[in-house]
Amino acid sequence: MLFCYPIEATFENWLHDGLMELLTRIFNGTDDPLNNWLGAFPAEKRDEVEKKPSLLEALRAVAGEIVGVPEAGQAGFLACMQAQNHIPDIFDPGVALVEMPDGYDALVERIETLFRIAFRMLTPLGIRDRQYALIYEHMPAHVCAFCGIEPLTAPDPAIPRESLDHYLPFSRYPFAAVNLRNLAPTGTKCNGPHKHNVDTLRDIDSVRRRCFDPFGGATATVSLLNSRPLEGATVKAFRLPHWQIDLEGNADAVATWDAVYDIKTRYQLNILDKELRNWLDHFANWVARDAAPPTTRDEVVALINRYLNVVIQEGFADFLKREVFGMLAHRCRVEPSAGRVTAWLIALLSPETGAAIVDQAA
């Protein structure tokens, strides 16, 4: 991840906590486990919960189905529930996962139904909107923390809210379905075609892997310094760089992040390959209007640094664009690329041969 969401956004977790208490009673074989069931929730929230009769019905269905399960099986479901909510420790591959006991498909179905109902309740209870508003207010940029390239919309009822991602997917970890520690706003593409139901904790071979904590502290950075200009594919007579996108941070967590969200592929195909020509054209026009065309390497590097400081926004708004121009300045200074890249940029910025299109009437 590029940044983390504030841990305070997970504090209104009373619905999850109440369900954990009630299910613990059920799985422990407590007599009449749903007696005074509303007492599992804060006093000021009980009226709101009571108005959702489907929740009690779903809890009764789980309690009814557990009756025929042996004590060892009940203990297995309790251990699974506890393990799935052992967040953030569960993000460490050294922490064991506990599977649901086999042979109880009807009970598993009841559990999944319960948590689907509970997840849908987050919206009418206002929990979802309050969480999103708090996150939005404290974000360093209003973009998806998982990719940095999808904008997140303002928390206003006039526009649809963003997706609320089950970081640990519901299909594998239903007991964490309403745990705010497992619910993080994401961009539509991150949550949809890229991650969808991918298991964050296990790869395609079911091998455990480390992942970032969306509400933790560890993050990653992106570097393009090792990319090589003029050595990539040619598109419409324009030679792209050979991109090397280095994701820097904890190597194991970074590998999971890239695999789950297709980070490098999306950066290259959707942003770098598509936007580089436009970025260079803008740079050339800026030079034509506000500076003298360079004739030496030092002048090229100075212009790039000035462009970085004056024109390109800092932070996440233009972070890939900043990386591109930082890489170009770097490649003007290091061999074996320095001479070739410098000559290319001088030609690009030349009024006679370059890319600038200046409005002469301006």
How much is the average pLDDT of 117-141?
95
Residue 286 lies in a domain: yes
Helical spans, DSSP H, in 32-104: 46-50, 53-66, 71-84
Give domain status of residue 124, yes or no: yes
> pLDDT, tens digit, for every residue of 345-362?
999 998 876 665 544 333
Across 183-196, average pLDDT: 89
Task: Answer yes or no: is pLDDT of 70 > 60.
Answer: yes
At which of 195, 211, 235 does a domain end?
195
Residues 237 and 89 in one domain: no
pLDDT for the residue numbered 356: 55
Length of the chain: 362
Q: Which of 177, 195, 213 is the last residue of a domain?
A: 195
Would residue 268 count as lying in a domain? yes
Q: What pLDDT is stored for residue 276 in this prediction?
A: 96
> Once rounded to an integer, what is the mean pLDDT over residues 46-59?
96
131 and 190, same domain (yes or no) = yes
Say whether 229 sits in a helix, a strand or coil. Answer: coil
Domain shared by 174 and 253, yes or no: no
In this prediction, residues 260-267 reach a mean pLDDT of 96
My answer on whether 266 and 344 are in the same domain is yes
Distance from CA of residue 251 to its chain's centroid?
17
pTM over 0.75: yes
Domain interval for residue 138: 7-195
What mean pLDDT is predicted for residues 102-131? 96
C-alpha distances out from residue 294 to 241, 303, 304, 343, 354, Å = 22, 8, 11, 10, 11
Shared domain check, 257 and 181: no
For residue 19, being part of any structural domain is answered with yes
Is 233 within a domain? yes
Position 136 scores a pLDDT of 94
Q: What is the pLDDT of residue 193?
A: 81
Q: How far is CA 293 from the centre of its chain?
A: 41
Are both 171 and 269 inside the same structural domain? Answer: no
Question: Which residues, in sequence order, are CB contacts of 257 under 8 Å at separation 6+?
Answer: 1, 146, 211, 212, 220, 247, 263
pLDDT at position 297: 96
One domain, residues 41 and 188: yes
Return the pLDDT at 362: 31
Q: Is residue 24 part of a domain?
A: yes
Q: Do the domain assignments include residue 58?
A: yes
Last residue of a domain, one of 160, 179, 195: 195
**Quick one: 295 and 191 in the same domain?**
no
Same domain assignment for residues 173 and 261: no
Residue 146 — pLDDT band, cuts 50, 70, 90?
A: very high
Same domain? For 105 and 47 the reply is yes
- Is residue 115 within 8 Å of 226, Cβ to Cβ? no
Q: What is the pLDDT of residue 355?
A: 61
| Spatial separation of the C-alpha atoms in residues 127 and 123, rounded to whole Å | 6
- 252 domain-assigned: yes
Q: Calculate the dihedral angle through the C-alpha atoms of 332, 335, 336, 340, rounding to the nearest 10 degrees.
A: 20
Asked if residue 257 lies in contact with residue 211, where contact means CB atoms within 8 angstroms, the answer is yes
Instruction: Tell me what the pLDDT averaged over the chain comes to.
Output: 93
Query: Which of the four pLDDT bands, split at 50, 70 and 90, describes residue 200?
Result: very high
* pLDDT at residue number 125: 95
The pLDDT of residue 263: 97
Count structural domains, the chain. Answer: 2
Decide which of 110 and 191 is more confident: 110
Are 58 and 124 in the same domain? Answer: yes
Q: How far is residue 185's CA from residue 15's CA, in Å, rounded to a whole number?
A: 18
- Asked if residue 235 and residue 100 are part of one domain, the reply reads no
